[in-house]
Amino acid sequence: MRVGIAGVGWFGFQPEVVDYSFREMMFKAAQRAYEDAGGLDPRKDVDAFVSCQEDFWEGIAISDEFAPDPVGGAMKSVYTVAGDGLQCVGQAYMMIKSGLFDVVVVESHAKPSDIITLNDVMLFATDPISIRPLDIGNAHALAALEARAYMHKYGVTEEHLEAVVEKAHRAGAKNPRAVYASPGRSRSSSPVVADPLRDADIAKFVDAAVVVVLASDRVIRDYTDAPVWVDGAWWSTEISSLELHDWSFPVHAREAADGAYAQAKITDPAKEVGFAEVDNRYSFKELQHVEALRLAPVGAAKDLMADGAFCPGGRLPVNLSGGALAEGVPFEVHGLARLSYAVAVMRGDIKAQVDRREVAVIHSWRGVPTTTSVVVVLRT
């Protein structure tokens, strides 16, 4: 039994979607996904729906209840996972593998522009007793602590971060939905937010919704002639106490990657993977995640980056989309944003500078203060 992607739809990817509510954004993304899946009718053809969202982002308690109707799931099997959209892909993967479901729809949406106190809401995710009372002021400081630990241990300099930022904006300029892409943006002249992180190192937030239709190999040809297969999906959470997690390396991303590679029978990722879309919501994170995903030896990503190995047209392009630095971070939609871009590249819908489009690895991290990563392996 193989699980494939039959359709993808997205809406938004604007700093603020003023005209449409989150429900309406979900509906529009779903319409597009179903059209992409050969005009699938969610009222008849879909066995179950999974939505990835988080109550505090929504500003609605038990927001699960708001998931079904905008995507055609009213009075059908729907459940919500409080996690990144790729975790929902993992749920759909398991459901279809079980043989009980043939078509499962995955949805995620985000409207960060609706949150007035975004920094406070982010800090709500820190331990309420051991960290929150410190009133650290800016949630990005938590990422800065990780950046310092990683850079100190592996000799990463601010010039290396500069290279990541530059690549993201240059690649993003070719991605129509990368609203923040600005080629030539100078990192060194952008203000320091939390040393060593400057404004240019930190991805902005963006409003977006993405819907993905997954189907079993038994029925997928009813919906698409060009399925992209999900051959691995794995996730990992390191620990709930930041104090006790590894500050210098994302162990969770390594764990998630190894799980997904094992499922997809990939033994040498650096050779077998054609391109990657990984979380880069902070510039240094791209280097860390490349290493965690075994696309470069630990500590070596900075040099390979400087050599252009991960650039568009390079040996193993990473974030041809520009990633979160160029597109923005749509909360839990982020993993699906990375995935939907990769699917478009693999199907040839997007002409990207990449030689090998047959195998892609997708990664998402849920951002500070989480220690959760998800990795999905895609094949054409």
Partner 1 sequence: MSGVTKPLNPRGTKYERADFPVFEFPVVGKARYNYTTGEALGRFLAGLKEGKILGTYCSKCGRVFVPPRMYCSYCFREVDGWLEVRDEGVVVTAVMSYISATRARLERPVAVGVIKLDVPGRQFDDHFFPGLMHYICGAAEEDVKSMRIFGAKVKARWKPPEQRTGSITDIECFEVVRP
CB under 8 Å to 374, separation ≥6 — which residues? 83, 84, 86, 87, 89, 90, 233, 234, 235, 256, 335, 363, 364
* Minimal distance, residue 355 CB to partner 1, in Å: 40
Q: Which stretch binds partner 1 (CB under 8 A): 15-23, 230-238, 295-303, 310-318?
A: 15-23
The length of the chain, given as a count of residues: 380
State both tokens at 280.
Answer: 């880069």
3 state SS of 85: helix
Q: Does 185 bind partner 1 (CB under 8 A)?
A: no
Q: Which stretch binds partner 1 (CB under 8 A): 23-31, 198-206, 269-277, 288-296?
A: 23-31
**Distance from C-alpha of 235 to C-alpha of 227, rounded to nearest angstrom:** 23
**Distance from C-alpha of 230 to C-alpha of 360, rounded to nearest angstrom:** 10
Q: Which stretch binds partner 1 (CB under 8 A): 63-71, 93-101, 150-158, 224-232?
A: 63-71
Looking at residues 121 to 180 of the shown chain, list those that interact with partner 1 (rule: CB under 8 A). 121, 123-124, 128-129, 132-133, 135
Looking at residues 101 to 120 of the shown chain, list those that interact with partner 1 (rule: CB under 8 A). 111, 113-117, 120
Is there a contact between 201 and 148 (Cβ–Cβ < 8 Å)?
A: no
Q: Does 76 bind partner 1 (CB under 8 A)?
A: no
**φ and ψ at 246, to 5 degrees?**
-75, 110
Give the residue with the Cβ less far from partner 1, 21 or 188: 21
Q: Which of 4, 9, 12, 68 binds partner 1 (CB under 8 A)?
A: 68
Q: Does 217 bind partner 1 (CB under 8 A)?
A: no
Residues 31-60, one symbol each (x = binds partner 1 by CB under 8 A, - = not), give ---x------xxx------------x--x-
**Distance from C-alpha of 312 to C-alpha of 257, rounded to nearest angstrom:** 22
C-alpha dist (Å) from residue 120 to 89, 126, 135, 137, 313 = 29, 10, 10, 9, 40
* Minimal distance, residue 13 CB to partner 1, in Å: 16
- C-alpha distance across the termini of the chain, in Å: 16
Residues interacting with partner 1, by CB under 8 A? Answer: 17-24, 27, 30, 34, 41-43, 56, 59, 68-70, 72, 74, 111, 113-117, 120-121, 123-124, 128-129, 132-133, 135
